[in-house]
Amino acid sequence: MKAVILAGGFGTRLRPLTCTKPKPMATLLGKPVLSYIFDWLHAAGVDEAVLTTAYLPDCIEAYLASGVPAGMRVRTRREHTPLGTAGSVKAAADGWEEPFFVVSGDCICDFDLQRALDFHTQSRAQATIVATHVRDPREYGLVYADEAGRVTGFCEKPDWNAVAADTANTGIYVLSPEALRGVPEEKPYDFSGDLFPEMLRTGAPLFANVARGYWCDIGDLSAYRACQRDMLDGKLRLPLPAVADGVFAAGELPQGEYQIIPPVYIGRHVAIERGAAVGPYTVVGDGCYIGKNAKLMGSVLLDDVAVYDNAVVNFAVLCENAVLKSGAQVYEDSAVGARCVLGSSVRVGPNVKIWPEKRIENGVRVSHNIKYGAPRAALFSERGICGLSGVELGPAAIAALGRSIASCALGGKIGVATDAKPLSRAAYHILAGSMAAQGSSVWNFGDCFLTQMYFFTAFCSLQMGVFISSGAGKVRLHLCSTGGLPLPRRVEREIEARCKNDDFTRVSPQACKEISDMASMQAMYLRELTREAGVPLQNQSVAVHCKNERVQMLMEDCLYRLGAKSGDEVTFRFGGDGTTVSAFHRECGWIPHDKLLAICCKADFAEGRDVALQSDAPYAISRLAHRYGRRALRYSRSPADERDRDARRLACSLLYVRDALFLSVRLLGLLQRTGKTLGDLVRELPAFYVSRKSVPIDFSPTELLEVLHDENAEPQNEGVALQTDKGRVLLVPQRSGRRLYMLAESASFEASRELSGDVEARLRRH
């Protein structure tokens, strides 16, 4: 037996699912529709089939290499000019002399085809339409026939007032070759609109045979989900790999403490985290990841979808490689296209279609289809380049970053280090390899912490430094420039542009360089850190606490070399990346980083030296500088011009202003030289306290001065400063443009919090 499978349709109503694959390749419980059709035809005795293709034919042809049942021959015929359903069947069946089947490539059924063939033969039909009874005839082309089965008329998708039958044309036919003799050559010609009405008009033997069994025309996304629901309910005679009552799986169920509510289907190599709930009527494709406390109901996840912690997916379709970040929600009858990334707390309302490769920023509410445009999130954030591993920062993206960085620093020395985590080290190998292949001199400083990378970049006169850290499935690349200072905005923009456009400097293979092992520089950092004290720390009693064991051990080693003893006269608590420290002293309790920095800056001012600080350092330090006739220069976090050139040049030699370990050792040296206690030095400072927070805004950052509407608001190199009778507030727009970084500085903790609240309320009243 032979068959023609019509597989050339565009699947418009199934988009965005069919944006990346033709309808016959849409998967049902982990297998393409085409696979079910092949099995069904093969069981009916079909040993030869022709697939008519037009839309994304390569996808179908690639599948045929391994997806055809043994003993069945399948070939394809591409349509370069549309011929209609009847025209394409005539071309595909050229030379056939016996009756054959015609089936649609987007239907699933278990009809007895042999019964239809027997009816066709016994009735001496030229064409037999396989029909079936449907509950709601309004969505189908109906077939009217007499008691013998001879077709008497057609009705296309009638309303209830015109319905006279419930037998729908399934798009499955048995044809004898003579039925196609009247089909014109090289001209669009359809079965339902042309051939069958002509046969009816001329009295040709056209019959209908009502079949029993399951049939579903996968015409839209609702039908696509409903078909899989029916399969899980056992309405289709189909062997499913059951591992428990109502639980079907292609392999072993993933380990973990999660909840499955049958019926569900779970593909191979799926990971489900603790607290997640899957089902009922949920289909999870191969390679999917479902995070902690995620909730899935009545939805279809195609292969390699990632649904992160606390996300919700209800009665929706997520196409291959789609990503829902933590807290994202997708609701009824919506679909997210292939390789889309939905940011944290994004909400996609009902009946929304998002076309492939779109990126939706955190917190956005989506209520309309997103078809055109692919907004690209900014590459750099306030804390460097950050993204989920395998999503924003997969191997290909990291390699592209390496080539972009190397192209910007062509032939220069670039340092790389990691926080020692496996994911960070894996990213290092990709990044360093791509930069070396691009002709850069890559210096590998091994495992360290962020401020050490600043030191290495400055001490070794590197053109750029990259520190790689990871956590919670994310990879972060923190880039610094000459001197260990923040990258200028022009360099960030160049890296972004090169990544976006794949614009890499072309180098010869001979330009590839060996990666230099610079792990010995760890000893140099310890030596310079020890020198920062200036004097031995005899009789100093110090305790150190840090979650990062590397910081803890290095500080303890340094203090031991300086002669300090273990005790609690001064207790330091460091941030894990080495950028912040607070200290405890029994006279004044916990002292924040801002005040420890002010103490060391004050000592420099008293000795006739200027300092250079990042733009968000306390303004109280500038007032101290003025008191001593010195300057507290400011450099930007992302300078757009050369206005902070002097500040950056000075900052290169002041390690303590950006390295908390150097700050703490310098402070201990100051205590040793002056004979004062930490409490004494704190009391010598003017009273100030800084409250920091991030505030959402619903206006453009360009409107900030207008919103504040205050003559005491002044633009700064970064942000706007507002002076009030309660203190000073610095407002710096974040890179997303949707939040402000607020630093409220006042004489006390309570006053700074009150000032912060006042300004936030003013912003919200806008």
Average pLDDT estimate for 18-25 = 92
Beta 107-109 vs 215-217: how paired, if at all?
antiparallel
Q: Answer yes or no: CATH 2.160.10.10 is held by domain 241-366.
A: yes
> Taking 90 as the threshold, does the pLDDT of residue 330 lie above it?
yes
Report helix, strand or coil for 259. Answer: strand
C-alpha distances (whole Å) from 10 to each of 17, 24, 58, 303, 725 are: 11, 10, 14, 21, 67
Measured CA to CA, the distance from residue 581 to residue 664 in angstroms comes to 8
Average pLDDT estimate for 406-417 = 91
Q: Do residues 752 and 745 make contact, with C-beta atoms less than 8 angstroms apart?
A: yes
Beta 48-53 vs 73-78: how paired, if at all?
parallel
Q: What is the pLDDT of residues 559-592, one digit of tens each?
A: 999 999 999 899 999 999 999 999 999 988 999 9
Predicted pLDDT of residue 159: 58
Measured CA to CA, the distance from residue 466 to residue 611 in angstroms comes to 25
Measured CA to CA, the distance from residue 340 to residue 316 in angstroms comes to 14
Q: Do residues 223 and 117 make contact, with C-beta atoms less than 8 angstroms apart?
A: no
Predicted pLDDT of residue 164: 57
Predicted pLDDT of residue 185: 83
Confidence of residue 182 (pLDDT cuts 50, 70, 90): confident
Q: Do residues 362 and 387 make contact, with C-beta atoms less than 8 angstroms apart?
A: no
Q: Do residues 41 and 101 make contact, with C-beta atoms less than 8 angstroms apart?
A: yes
Nearest by Cα to 651 from 383, 409, 458 = 458
Predicted pLDDT of residue 463: 95
- Most confident of the following: 425-429, 489-493, 510-514: 425-429
**Residue 186 host element (H or E):** none
> Taking 90 as the threshold, does the pLDDT of residue 165 lie above it?
no
Q: Can you read off the two tokens belonging to residue 77?
A: 């015929």
> Taking 80 as the threshold, does the pLDDT of residue 29 lie above it?
yes
Predicted pLDDT of residue 377: 63
Predicted pLDDT of residue 81: 83
Report the percent of the chain where pLDDT is more than 90: 72
Per-residue 3-state assignment (H helix, E strand, C coil) for 455-490 = HHHHHCCCCEEEEEEEECCEEEEEEEEHHHCECCHH
Measured CA to CA, the distance from residue 389 to residue 416 in angstroms comes to 18
Whether 385-519 and 689-764 share one fold: the answer is: no
In DSSP notation, 152-179 reads EEEEES--GGG----EEEEEEEEE-GGG
257-266, 369-378, 380-389, 428-437: range with lowest mean pLDDT:
369-378
> Taking 50 as the threshold, does the pLDDT of residue 272 lie above it?
yes
CATH superfamily, domain at 385-519: Alpha-D-Glucose-1,6-Bisphosphate, subunit A, domain 3 (3.40.120.10)
Predicted pLDDT of residue 374: 54
Average pLDDT estimate for 680-690 = 95
Measured CA to CA, the distance from residue 464 to residue 461 in angstroms comes to 9
As a whole number, the mean pLDDT across the chain is 92
Predicted pLDDT of residue 375: 53
Average pLDDT estimate for 316-320 = 96
Q: What global pTM score does this model have?
A: 0.75
Q: Answer yes or no: CATH 3.90.550.10 is held by domain 2-217.
A: yes
> Taking 80 as the threshold, does the pLDDT of residue 137 lie above it?
no
Predicted pLDDT of residue 351: 94
Predicted pLDDT of residue 262: 95
Look-up of token digits 């997303």: 736
Q: What is the pLDDT of residues 482-491, one digit of tens each?
A: 999 999 999 9
Domain limits, the chain: 2-217, 241-366, 385-519, 529-683, 689-764
Predicted pLDDT of residue 495: 93
Nearest by Cα to 623 from 667, 693, 687 = 687
CATH superfamily, domain at 689-764: Alpha-D-phosphohexomutase, C-terminal domain (3.30.310.50)
Predicted pLDDT of residue 163: 53
Predicted pLDDT of residue 22: 92
More confident residue, 569 or 375: 569
> Taking 80 as the threshold, does the pLDDT of residue 396 lie above it?
yes
> Taking 80 as the threshold, does the pLDDT of residue 160 lie above it?
no
> Which residues 6+ apart lie within 8 Å of 94 measured at CB?
none
Predicted pLDDT of residue 162: 47
Measured CA to CA, the distance from residue 278 to residue 258 in angstroms comes to 8
Measured CA to CA, the distance from residue 588 to residue 242 in angstroms comes to 67
Average pLDDT estimate for 239-261 = 88
Confidence of residue 158 (pLDDT cuts 50, 70, 90): low
Average pLDDT estimate for 383-410 = 90
